[in-house]
Homo-oligomer: A and B are copies of this chain.
Amino acid sequence: MRSGPRPGGRSLRVQEAVHAAVTALIDETGREGLTVPQVAARAGVTPSTIYRRWTDMATLMRDVAQRNLRVDCPLKPCGRLSVDLPAWAEMYQEEMDSTPGRAMMRDVLRGWDGTQKACSLFDAVRPTIVSICDAAGEPVTFDVEAVIDAVVAPVLTRILFTDGPLPATLARDAAVAFVARHASGG
C-alpha cells in the first residue's frame, strides 16, 4: 500500500503541540478570546496547518475536549445497587455540573453539526454503569440505556436548558427511584 493516513512522527508531534497549546492557553487566558493564530504561535506551528487539519477553532476545541473525556473512576462499589448507583449518580452530576464539566460540554457542542453525535459521552459512562451492576450480587433486570435515560439525561438537559446550578440531589434521587422501580419486579 502506498496511500493512507500517516499518524506517526511529525504529524503526531504537531498534534500534541497544538493540543498542549490549546490546553495551556485555555487556563491562562480563558477560552473566550482564543484564536487559531494564537494557538499556532504557542504551538510553534503555522496557522494554515491548523486550518487544514481542523478547519476552525470550534472543531479544534471539540477535539481537545474529547481527549480530556476521561472515564471517571467510581467510588468502590459495595455490592448493593441501591447504594452504588445513587452514589455514582451524585458524583456524575457533580462532575458534569462543575465548571470544567460544563466547559467540556460547551466545547463539544460548539462543533456539533446536527447530524452525527457531538461526542461519545455515553461510551465513557456505560462501562462504569456495567461494572456497578456486575458488582451487585442481585441479578439485574434492566438495560444500561435505561439508566442513561433515567439519570444521565435529566442532568445533561438541565445543564443545557435551565438556569442556575442543578438541585443537588437530582441525579441521586433519580437513581434511587430507578432502582426502586426495578427492584419491585419491573
Q: How far is the CA of A114 from the CA of B157 in the complex (A)?
A: 12
Which residues of B have CB within 8 Å of A161?
117-122, 156
- Interface 0/1 of A38-69, CB less than 8 Å to B: 00000000000000000000000000000000
Q: How many residues of A contact B (CB 8 A)?
A: 32
Q: Is the interface of A mostly helix, strand, loop or mixed?
A: helix
**A153: which of B114, B116, B117, B154 is its contact (CB, 8 Å)?**
B154
**Docked-complex contact B106 and A113, CB < 8 angstroms:** yes
Would you call A175 an interface residue if the criterion is a C-beta within 8 Å of the partner chain's C-beta atoms?
no
Which residues of A in the span 55-97 have a Cβ within 8 Å of any Cβ on B? Answer: none
Q: How far is the CA of A116 from the CA of B114 in the complex (A)?
A: 21
Which residues of B have CB within 8 Å of A122?
161-162
* In the complex, the 5 A-B pairs of residues with the closest C-beta atoms, listed nearest first: A106-B114, A153-B153, A149-B154, A153-B157, A102-B114
